[in-house]
Amino acid sequence: AVDQEPSLAGLLGTLGEALRALNGFECGCALARLKELPTREHETALVMDMMARCHFEMADYAQAAEVFARSCAKHKLHRNLSLEYYSTALWHLREPVQLGSLAQQALDWDRLRPQTWCVVGNCLSLQREHEQAIRAFRRAVQVDPSFAYAYTLIAHEYSAIEKFDKAIEMYEHAVAADSRHYNAWWGLGSVYQRQEEYQKARYHFQKAAAINAGNAVLKTSLGAILQSMGEQEQALRLFSSAMDGRPPSAMASFHRGAALAALGRRDEAMEELRRAQGLAPREPCVHFQLGRIHASTGDARKALSHYTIAMDLCGARDSKAIAAAQAEIIRAGAQQRAGELGR
C-alpha cells in the first residue's frame, strides 16, 4: 500500500498497468502493480479477481481458488468474477463439493452467461461425466460463439475420452476465436504428444509457452517433449526454470530428475527425485524412476521396493505402467538373488 492518498488518475494508471501486464501474461508484474494500490482497493471485486487470475495463469491453483473464494464470499457472484477460471482451479485441486456448490450458485445467478455453463461442465468433468460435460460446454458456445475457453474445455473432454480428431477440431476453433489462447495451443500439443507426433507437439507447446512464459506447466510440457526427442540439456534448462515458480511443481521436479539421470548425473538425479517424492508421494512415475536409479547403482533391494510401490500406486487402467513395473520388479528380483548367491 502507498502512504499518501493517490489521485483517481494515479489509481486508474496503476490499475491500467496491472491489467496490461495481466493481459500479456506478465503475472508477477501485474501482482506487483496491484499491491501498490491502497489496502482498501485490495478488497474490491475487480482487484481480487485480477489477483486470482494472476495466480491461475501462473498455475498456482490453490492460491487462485483461495482468492476467488474470498471474492465470492465478500461480493457474491459479481460481474467481474472469472467463474470459468475459478471452476477450473477447483477442478485441478479435485474439490468436488466446492465445485458442485459453485455450479449451483452459478445456475441460480445467471443461465445466460457462458461462464455459468463452463462451471457446470467442469463440475461434470470432475465426476468423469464427459459426455454431459461436453453438452454443458456446448451450451456456453451457444450463448457466446466467440468464447474461446468453452471450445478448449470441450476439446479437453474429447481428449479425455480419446476422440482426438474432435479434440483437435475444437482446439482449432478456440485458436481461431483467440490466437493468444495458450490453453488451446497446449491442448493441441498434448494431443500430438499422445499420438507420438513429437515435432507437432513441440511446435504447439512452444506457441503456448511463448504466450505465457511464466507458467510452469507449459515449460514442463515443452521440456518433456524435448526429453522424448533426446534434447536432455535443453529440457533440463526448462525443468529448472519451471522449478523456480511458486508453488514448486512436482512434475517439473520429476522430469528434472529423469533428465539428470539420462545425463549420467545420478547423485543430483536422486536428490531431485527425492524432492519430487516429497511433493507428490503418491506419484508412481517418481517411484519408478527412483527404482531405476537404485537398480543402476546395484542396490536391488531399494529398486525392488520402489518398483513395488509404483505398481501399487498405478491405477487399474495404467496397464503399460503396470507391465513396465512388473518387468522391472522381475529384473530387480533376479539381480537381488544373484547378489545374495554371490556372497
Average pLDDT over residues 92-113: 95
Q: For residue range 8-37, what is the model confidence (pLDDT) as tens digits?
A: 787 888 999 999 999 999 999 999 999 999
CATH number for 18-81 (one of 3.90.1200.10, 1.25.40.10, 3.40.1010.10, 3.90.550.10): it is: 1.25.40.10
Average pLDDT over residues 146-166: 97
- The proportion of the chain whose per-residue pLDDT surpasses 90, expressed as a percent, equals 66
d(C-alpha 33, C-alpha 10), whole Å? 12
Q: Which residues contact 8 (CB under 8 A, 6 or more apart)?
A: none
CATH number for 197-207+218-226+253-312 (one of 3.40.50.620, 1.10.3720.10, 1.25.40.10, 3.30.360.10): it is: 1.25.40.10
Residue 78, φ and ψ in degrees, nearest 5? -85, 165
Average pLDDT over residues 181-201: 96
d(C-alpha 302, C-alpha 128), whole Å? 36
Q: What residue ranges do the domains of the chain occupy?
A: 18-81, 97-189, 197-207+218-226+253-312
Query: C-alpha cell of 277?
Result: 517424492
Instruction: Output the average pLDDT for the chain.
Output: 88
Q: What is the pTM of this model?
A: 0.85
pLDDT at 314: 76
CA 289 to each of CA 186, 192, 195, 208: distance values in angstroms, whole numbers, following the listed order: 26, 24, 23, 28
d(C-alpha 242, C-alpha 255), whole Å? 10
Beta carbons of 154 and 141 less than 8 angstroms apart: yes
pLDDT at 323: 63
